[in-house]
Structure 1
Amino acid sequence: MPTSACPSAVPAAGDRRENLLLRELVAVYSHLSGLASQDSDVDGVVRLVAHRTGSAVAVLGPTVEVLAAAPTDAGERLADPAVSASLGPVLAAAAQNRRPVSLPGLGAAAGPIVVAPILVGDEVAAHLVTLPPVEPRSGEQELDDDLNLLLTEHAATICGIILGRERVVAAAAGQARTDLIEGLLLARDRDDGEAERWAGHLGFVPGCEHHVLTVRLLEGGGAGTPASDDTAHVLALAEHAISRRLPGAIVAVRDTEVVAVVAAPPGRGGGLDGVRSLAEGCRAAVLDRHPDAAVVAGVGGCCRTAGEISRSYSEARSAVDAARRMGRAPAVLAFDDLGVHRLLLQVPDLGELRAFAADVLGELVRDREHRANLVGTLSEWFRCNGSPQRTARELHVHPNTVSYRIRRVEEIAGLRLDHYRDRLMAQLACEIMQVLGDVP
């Protein structure tokens, strides 16, 4: 009876194909592992898997945005309604089980779609998705479904290693940047060149006009102030607003404030006014999301060297302190606009300031009616350089009314405003009441 060679030929061909597929899988595994030890990124992993398998490969972020894809039309295939409608539950299942999941072929796909979670620690940072080619590759090159599942899972593991490494590097770089900024803000007037080196690493350009801007969330700002759990979110809004408007700014978050060293815009509307406008925009961005937040912005004086950054920062904080002590929160205060208030801020006891104003103005301080009519007129009279006509225009009264009120001030307070000393003391007392919010 003749013996046929066909039965033995079939398993031989099957063994040969299986060996080829295993060798291909091992080769891809080895190449992927090599990427993990090199300075590669997830794009390199995606390109390698797509090239060796003929599949379309993509990495999807937490909000299903495409972070990397190969070939370029992989994102378009994922956007196909037949695919995208079924992809969400598969991503959720893969994330929950921490294992790859297969989705039967949809649309033009020639085989199953594989979704593997990319883990960074215990967090699912992204997903790796492989879509089989629309036209299958020639027999011996095509991985079967089980091997494709294994390869996708291993590629996802390599992506997790790369993303984890990138996070560590980014965190280290961020901490180093924070340390440099802290050093510049707190190292007042260093003259050893170290501050210049620190500032150079951060992109500071010596000789150009800079100002330090602080956007601070005041504590105890009332019922509308965000809870402590929301403080980080509020500050992140301010940080984003500054970085978006001025990508080159040196920005850091410190406790309850965001601090930025910003270059003054050139030309008209630049300088201090330009920085003030930036501060107003950042504060508005925060209030748009948290309208009742007690947010105050302060701008320090000009700094042209790294050693002056600390002084400008101190001035910006003083401007914010002025707003807080005034009992109200102006949109923005610049230190250069504080005038004599700079000296008043140095007095720690507000009671001493009130006592001084009371000694100078007497009954004008103690009587609420006098304080509203007469002290308000006196303050405006000083701002108008003693001109009854200008004061009248500002107060919308007759000049004779202004002259009458000034005479009443002199009579009640026992002052002679044509004498230098009395005039100076009275003006300082009005400024104190302005700082304390006692003048309407």
Structure 2
Amino acid sequence: MSSKVFAGSAIKQNAGKISNINDWSPTTKQRRWLLIAGSSHPPEKVHISMGRKREAKGEKSGKYLQGISLDLFNIERSVGHTLKNKIQNLEITKAEVANHITSFFQFCLENDFKPMLYYSGHGEMPTGNWCFTDGTIGVDEILEMVPEGMAYPTICSDACYSGTWADFCIRKGIDGFECLSACKPDQSAFDNRDNGGELTLYMTGNEKKLTKGRPVTEPLFSRGSQPDYPTVRIFGKVHYAEFIKYHTYDYRNILISQSIRDGYLAAVFASDQKYNSSEKLYWESAGYADFFQVYKSDVHCRKFIYSLKADESTKRFYAYSIEGFGDSQVVLKIDDPDDITWRNMAITSCTACKSKFYFVLSSGVPEFENREQVVLMNPTFSQSDNLSEKVADYYSKGFVITSMCYNKGKKKFLVVMTKTSESQESSLEQSISMSQ
């Protein structure tokens, strides 16, 4: 059995700073740098981070342009006389950039230089590919440009999702073909107020301008692997909507299950032919009132909640909605589940927060339509075995678990089971033990 290799933390490898580049990217050759700025407005078909928004077409001022200019200025000042060229054209095409890279590689081949490629700009989701006016350039394309006999390039990518490139390089295992990335594959790269990209600030010795003295995301470097240089969890944070979008961006997968506790998300993604082409929405809100305002807008657009969870520690609600999931829906806020009435609707999701239970009731969902349901709850926290026995009994009657939650205020687990011809296995005792 083989497992994928992932690039390790650049910080733990003492990698990234230009001042000690000989330590983390050693070479017997002189280096030459090519600096590349991405387009401010890549094609609409190219998915980019919600945090680094496109500028309007024709706009030549704003945070994107300011950040790119600062990044290239900082790098240019740090590399000094080893700079070969700087490409900063916000309307440059993919072909033009490819020509610049090819010419640069030929120059390095003829002069026996070690090529250093630096990029600052938008990264495509989920590839981390560099974004230009009419398309993107991927790390595999750069590898194909390398002429025979030239030293392989070291790539520095201050872009969202750039960890994908570092992972690609470590898996290739080509000596000298390395990548320093600004963040993990599912993260957005951060800019530091008016100072530019955080990876670039770290590279150029401007740690004092960084809030934590290092980037708030986890830079990766492909010389070392995760087991030897593990990333630090606190620097692996992602926004809920960004994370869900990253894992469902191409419509092949949907979020089929999620659990959120103390700011940590556990999610399961899988394909579902019924909803592959449906539009999805995913958002978090501060408190139930805020959640309900957004929810009313979604329902008006006929996008119904597929999964709803609340984090008891932060009191925030997390919703994942799908267009076409049923034909009507309501959300009930209830103190006692015994008070719930189904009418002609089915419970399709549930959660708990501040001693209240929240049920999503839907109609017109084929997998729930005209199916018998039961709501089970353990009387007290210590009587979880009693709940397990109830679940086992309903399993024997043809029911499966379709939703569950834990109410911290009441210290009670709640399980929704639906009758179906499909089978299911569970390890409820293990889940309860972990929650404790």
Q: Under TM normalisation by the shorter chain, which class is it?
A: under 0.3
Query: TM-score scaled by structure 1?
Result: 0.25
Bigger CA radius of gyration: 1
Q: Which has the higher strand share?
A: 2
Q: Which has the higher helix share?
A: 1
